[in-house]
Amino acid sequence: MRSHAPIDLLHRGLERGVASYVVETSDGLALHDCGPARTLAALEAGLAERGLAFADLRHILLSHIHFDHAGAAGAIVRANPAIQVHVSAIGAPHLIDPTRLEASARRLWGDAFDTLWGAVTPIPEENLHIVGGSVLGLECFPTPGHARHHVSYLHEDGTLYAGDSLGVRITPGSYIIPPTPPPEIDLDAWELTIEESRRRAPARLALSHYGVFDDVESHIDTLEATLRLWARRVEEGMGEETFTRLARSELAASDRELMPMYENAATIGNCHSGIARYWRKRREAAGS
């Protein structure tokens, strides 16, 4: 029997931070996103609760290559070399040779990298597949904005596996954080992603951070409004401290009891940094 329930990867020991989903495809079972290597034990336990093991999986569908979504993929392939990994053309080279990706992440996270994400294992090229418009019976389409290598998958049952493209919202909460950390935030591309996702009229959204939501139209509208609000605040010169304090106040007013989980899934200060970098690059481009 099909279930949309996420597997809770218990990232950093907290519930409802990072999710993986078991997806029925035209070629057997797949995982949508697999989390970081640090949470492999929780992923195995979550699969076992469903009567499954890595040996029962045929595919991994990656939304993008950030370590909280794809970090464990290499280790899973090592455990089951038959598993095939599907990813965007931009992301694929960084999974074959993750050296640059890991170095960039280590600059951002410093000594916390290993505790947060764990070991990074390359994926053999023969296990990787570049996604197109259809992947194993699911519609696949580019959803940049959070990252230029982000894609989303729409199942025939109406579930849109949206990764980070439609925000961070911790079930059963209502607040939506646009995850905008550096270095690749593109607000123009994100507006197009929102429109493409809305146009497909999914029945429900499966978010990697965290859970499944049926109020699709209001969710997308709220994400779009918050993304524009945050972009305007930063463009008008609001500093990180004020931005973070205001956003945390708004989050507390909506879902105070879920704040530790929201803040485990998305660091609001980093969100300011990503938007500020976007506007700085826009000004530099206009000046040149």
- Residue 84 pairs in a beta bridge with 59
pLDDT tens for each residue of 97-119: 988 888 888 887 888 888 888 88
pLDDT tens for each residue of 264-277: 999 999 999 999 99
Q: Judge contact between 276 and 236, C-beta under 8 A.
A: no
- Phi (first) and psi of residue 99, to 5 degrees: -60, -50
Q: Which residues of 180-203 are buried (b: 16+ CB within 10 A; e: fewer)?
A: bbeebbbbebbeebbeebeeeebe
pLDDT over 90 (residue 1) = no
> Is-above-0.75 flag for pTM?
yes
pLDDT confidence tier of residue 44, bands split at 50, 70 and 90 = very high
pLDDT tens for each residue of 160-195: 999 999 999 999 999 999 999 988 899 999 999 999
Please give the domain boundaries of the chain with CATH numbers for all domains. 7-287 (3.60.15.10)
pLDDT tens for each residue of 190-202: 999 999 999 999 9
Q: How large is the average pLDDT for residues 240-263?
A: 96
Q: How large is the average pLDDT for residues 211-237?
A: 98
**Gyration radius of the chain's alpha carbons:** 18
